[in-house]
């Protein structure tokens, strides 16, 4: 079982920024999706953003204009730059590897996940 490792979470004030990183221990095929999901207390896990290759990106409405996903194929890593954070962005953020034949927006089409990193945004 491949384990992804997230980092970069923490506590930030509203309006601030954080950059999340995710490392894959091996080589990721460029056509595979790498995505970010989040789960707030008492809520279902929701899609945030995903990337395929290095220039095909997908964003949830909650992320458009504020978050940017990027990928380093050589380092097998993916990052999520989050700007203008809001208290409602508080959640555990998960990195996931998705099948190239899957749907970037569906958590069920991702086959392995990280353990998550906590992001807390104070008012």
Q: pLDDT higher for 51 or 100?
A: 51
3-state secondary structure of 2: coil
pLDDT in tens, 8-53: 999 999 999 999 999 988 888 889 999 999 999 999 999 999 999 9
Distances (CA, A) of 40 to 3, 6, 52, 88, 96: 22, 17, 25, 9, 17
How large a percentage of the chain has pLDDT more than 70?
Answer: 100
Residue 25: its pLDDT value, please?
A: 87
Most confident of 12-21, 92-101, 103-112: 12-21
The mean-pLDDT minimum among 15-24, 87-96, 99-108 falls in 99-108
Q: d(Cα 37, Cα 46) in Å, to the nearest integer?
A: 5
- What region does 116 belong to: left with phi over 0, alpha with psi -120 to 50, or beta? left
Q: What mean pLDDT comes out for the span 82-111? A: 95
Query: pLDDT band for position 2 (50/70/90)?
Result: confident
């Amino acid at each position: 079982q491949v384990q992804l490792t997230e980092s970069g979470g923490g506590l930030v004030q509203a309006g601030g920024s954080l950059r999340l990183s995710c490392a894959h221990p091996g080589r990721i095929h460029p056509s595979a999706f790498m995505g970010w999901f989040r789960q707030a207390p008492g809520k279902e896990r929701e899609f945030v953003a995903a990337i395929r290759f290095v220039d095909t990106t997908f964003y949830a409405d909650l992320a458009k204009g504020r978050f940017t996903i990027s990928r380093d194929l050589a380092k097998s890593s993916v990052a999520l730059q989050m700007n203008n954070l809001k208290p409602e962005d508080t959640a555990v953020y998960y990195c996931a590897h998705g099948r190239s034949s899957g749907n970037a927006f569906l958590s069920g089409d991702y086959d392995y996940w990280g353990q998550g990193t906590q992001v807390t945004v104070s008012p």
